Amino acid sequence: MTRRHTVTTGCVLAITALVLAAAPAVARPLSAGIAAAPAALKPPPGMLEALQRDLHLTREQAQDRLLNETRLAGIEAKLQRRLGDRFGGAWFLGTVAQTLVVATTNAADLPQIIAAGARGEVVSRSLAQLDGVIDEVDAALSADRNGLVRYVDARINKVVVLSDTPSTTEDVIQASGVDPVAVQVVSSTERPQPLSDLVGGEAYYAGPATRCSVGFSVVRGLQNGFVSAGHCGTAGRTTTGADRREQGIFQASTFPDSDFAWISVNGNWSPKPAVSNGTGGTVSVAGSRPVIEGASVCRSGPVTGWHCGLILQRNASITYAQGNVSELVRTNVCAEAGDSGGSFISVDQAQGVTSGGSGDCTSGGVSYFQPINEILTTYGLSLVTIAGNPPPPSTGTCTGYPHTAEGTLTEGRSVYQPNGRFYRSTADGVHFACLDANDGSDLDLYLQKWIGRSWATVATSAGPGPDEKITYTGTAGYYRYRVTASSRSTPYVLGYNMP
């Protein structure tokens, strides 16, 4: 079963050689630029040291790298929105003073890419087309024991297949009808396997013998818990902590196809917005904004501790002995058995949970993680962050929410909140809202999302009384609340969050 929106591709051409560079988009010297950097750019404890060790950088180079990655992420997001279906992917070039490269299928986009501060590259296939190609490749190799790793490589504008018998794999792809020009088969000994052996990266046990790692703390309604790898346990299986105390139960689990699960915990466990840094300290979790290919990322697990590296490719498909898993992220961060489910984080942004890997932390290797936002959206979970999480909607007054709006409505009138406009959700997640008005009045609440040309209502609470509550799990984008008075004038308070 595929989880992508497949794009049908026609005849595609080889990658073109047209490349234009902007003025160098490099990091400013730390001494000159760090004072103006946002507080969020302060690296968490242990991250600079791990980047120095694993990427062979000086401390200043590691600092400059993180500063540059954060600065360029906003440029990439803006260009991706502007290019739309012409967007061919983005990646970093360089070890320290990275350059942001943004690809497009239309050379007319190059001036705006350069003007934004990136390097432009013209490619033959859009990222959406490559996503369609990897769906076809996955299907072609579904019954084949070669080509166990597939991924979209935006840098070469192809789908890459890693195989220990390249000629056999090429024959299978050729016979399937997949466009061979869009696929590159590479000889490789990479052999993926799950790493099975409440702070992210700490150990827990599923049953008597399976050891895995806590990913990130989450909440669903009033229930606390954490996310981890799906291959660690099936729904209904109980867990114990590293100290073998009773801990929780698998509420849901998906493996293969995907590799994620969420585990509810009992009252003896208090989820924290933190990830272990392997040296007795922790790294704070502030959100779940995905980073660009080539960006720095660190992994935490109870077996090998804290290791860092780079995002190599997104949209990787892996074949384990148990079946295929798609839409993983491939990294050059090492991992070993028992690290499964553990946290991947970039500075303070949760990225995903460890699925599997190849190699080890002595000789080096690669690892793959399941993106966190898909887990949150699938199960209706909220990530526990240092900013706090809003309470679920409840009866009575709407207090304790991170954002509030107040006003007075007359019968038959409506108003949009916040402030007659909208808000931007920067990540997939759960939207909570609570509307409270005077007894005897009748207010209704609607959550709307911008879908490109108009606003669509995605959630409604329209009971007969003055109090309304909405819980909605959605993707990143622009949202607004519409408050409507069906009877009598009344003041109201709206409490809400912004994932």
Per-residue model confidence as pLDDT tens digits over 192-216 = 887 754 899 999 999 888 999 999 9
Domains 19-122 and 193-383 share a fold: no
In three-state secondary structure terms, 359 is: strand
Q: What is the CATH number of domain 403-496?
A: 2.60.120.380
- Closest to 476 (Cα-Cα) out of 499, 496, 455: 499
Q: Give the pLDDT of residue 295.
A: 95
- 26: pLDDT strictly greater than 90: no
Q: Give the pLDDT of residue 13.
A: 30
pLDDT digit string, tens, across residues 367-403 = 999 999 999 988 988 899 987 654 443 334 566 677 8
- 75: pLDDT strictly greater than 70: yes
Residue corresponding to tokens 């590259």 = 121
Architecture of domain 19-122: 2-Layer Sandwich (3.30)
What is the pLDDT confidence band of residue 301, given thresholds at 50, 70 and 90? very high
What is the pLDDT confidence band of residue 12, given thresholds at 50, 70 and 90? very low
pTM for the whole structure: 0.66
The fraction of the chain above a pLDDT of 70, given in percent, is: 88
Average confidence score pLDDT of the chain = 85
Least confident of 31-45, 174-188, 449-463, 475-489: 31-45
Q: Give the pLDDT of residue 21.
A: 43
Which secondary-structure segment (H or E) carries 112? helix 110-115
Higher confidence at residue 455 or residue 95?
455
CATH of 193-383, one of 1.20.58.1030, 3.40.50.920, 3.40.50.11540, 2.40.10.10: 2.40.10.10
Least confident of 26-30, 56-60, 100-104: 26-30
Cα angle 379, 380, 381; round to 5: 95
Least confident of 6-15, 245-254, 304-313, 436-445: 6-15
pLDDT (average), residues 297-308: 95
What is the pLDDT confidence band of residue 41, given thresholds at 50, 70 and 90? low
pLDDT digit string, tens, across residues 396-421 = 456 667 788 888 888 888 899 988 88
Q: Give the pLDDT of residue 262.
A: 96
pLDDT digit string, tens, across residues 330-341 = 999 999 999 999
Q: Give the pLDDT of residue 104.
A: 97
What are the residue ranges spanned by the domains of the chain?
19-122, 127-187, 193-383, 403-496
- Angle subtended by helix axes 59-83 and 47-55, to nearest 10: 90
Which secondary-structure segment (H or E) carries 140? helix 127-140
Q: Give the pLDDT of residue 196.
A: 52
pLDDT (average), residues 69-84: 91
Q: Give the pLDDT of residue 324.
A: 93
Distance, in Å, from the CA atom of 110 to the CA atom of 128, rounded to the nearest integer, reads 19
Q: Give the pLDDT of residue 4.
A: 41
Rounded to an integer, what is the distance from CA 391 to the centroid of its chain?
Answer: 23
Class of domain 127-187: alpha beta
Tokens for 151, please give them.
């991924």
Question: Which residues are known to be catalytic?
Answer: 231, 259, 340
What is the pLDDT confidence band of residue 142, given thresholds at 50, 70 and 90? confident
- 471: pLDDT strictly greater than 60: yes
- 358: pLDDT strictly greater than 80: yes
